[in-house]
Amino acid sequence: MSADDELIRKRQRDRALVMALLLGAFVILMFFITVAKTGLNW
Amino acid sequence: MQSLDMTPAALLPADWRDFLALTKPRVMSLVVFSGVCGLLAAPAMPPFALGFTAILCIALGAGACGALNQWYEVEIDARMRRTAGRPLPAGRMSRDSALHFGVGLAVFSVLLMGVATNWLAAALLAVSILFYVLVYTVWLKPRTAQNIVIGGAAGAFPPLIGWVAATGHFAALPLFLFAIIFLWTPPHFWALSLFIRSDYAAAGIPMLPVVAGARTTRRHIFFYSLPMALAAVAPWLLGLTGPLYGIAATGLSTLFIVLAARVLSNRATEPSEMRPEKKLFAYSVVYLFALFGALVADRWIVW
């Protein structure tokens, strides 16, 4: 694997990781939005 | 405009940090702060999750504006020292990636705002993004020296959006907050453009110092600071806020006018001799933070 290929793989891995974290945060945010909108107390 | 696309670096997947840089995080901080103040100054307080989401959407909308601005102005940015190192002119990202990121972020922020708070706030956010990108960046900025006067409205939306996200309707106070930022923007940017005039001239942007000269710009700075100060004090005079805000607004605005008067009396043409301009520019940022901070303190602590 050339240095360029390695750099491409590393960038892809980093971006996938950031995307996964953002999607996880979005799911948690939607959960709390739903709780707030429905007026549930827990 | 496509020539910058084919640099070898642009063929690599862009680093995620460059996407973050596209959102202009430093500019975003003032936008977020004014949005938070608009939300906290409102008489109704939404649940924390909804208030947090409203501010997040304002931040994402501002980030989308930054990305779309950089997508459109890549060739201008490449000609200015201050902006030449940004991801697009430096060739670290393709223009298409920036465009897709900007549009995606804009659509996402508006939809999330509508779902989480109300559709009036979402519509205001959409209008502010479109205003910044189409009216300011594409239409006014490259064409007229008054670009920042009208374009300033784009940056004035966040406190209004924050208020509407919390209450669902307009009121007099957030409209004054809109007016304060609207009138604050020209002296703030003209002070900056005086001492980086050569950058704007090289990029062919018709900022006031480039088109009308330093003397006219200094006069404009001073005379714009007067209605700005009046707009800042007006909410107190009209009984919309308490004395804490009134005292802070009076003191901060008086100092703003004093610094603008020093700019007016300066005759320097070299950036190295433009200390009053640099001072006013730095103070103008502190001014807005302190004024809006005083508004929130007045609402939560005293009034």
What is the value of ipTM here, to two decimals?
A: 0.89
**A29 in B contact zone (CB under 8 Å):** yes
With cut-offs at 50, 70 and 90, classify the pLDDT of residue B198. confident
Q: Using an 8 Å Cβ cutoff, are B108 and B139 in contact?
A: no
Cβ atoms of B125 and B61 within 8 Å: the answer is yes
Check CB contact under 8 Å for B15 and A14. yes
The residue of chain A nearest to residue B10, with distances taken between CA atoms, is A8
Among A4, A15, A33, the residue with its CB nearest the CB of B116 is A33
Give residue-wise pLDDT tens across range B164-193.
999 999 999 999 999 999 999 999 999 999
A32 contacts in B (CB within 8 Å)? 49
- Asked if B138 and B72 count as a contact pair (C-beta separation under 8 A), the reply is yes
Whether A12 contacts chain B with CB within 8 A: yes
pLDDT score of B6: 47
Q: Using a CB-CB distance cutoff of 8 angstroms, which residues of chain B are in contact with residue A37?
A: 50, 116
- List CB contacts (< 8 A) between A36 and chain B: 46-50
pLDDT in tens, B108-130: 999 999 999 999 999 999 999 99
* CB of B53 less than 8 A from some CB of A: yes
The overall pTM is greater than 0.95: no
How big is the A-B interface in CB pairs under 8 Å?
31
CB atoms near residue B202 (< 10 Å) = 13
HSE of B40 in the Cβ direction (CA atoms, 13 Å)? Answer: 18
> Residues B105, B67: contact at Cβ < 8 Å?
yes
Whole-angstrom CA distances from B20 to A18, B26, B32 are: 11, 11, 16
Q: Cα separation of B119 and B125, whole Å?
A: 10
Cβ <8 Å between A36 and B15 = no
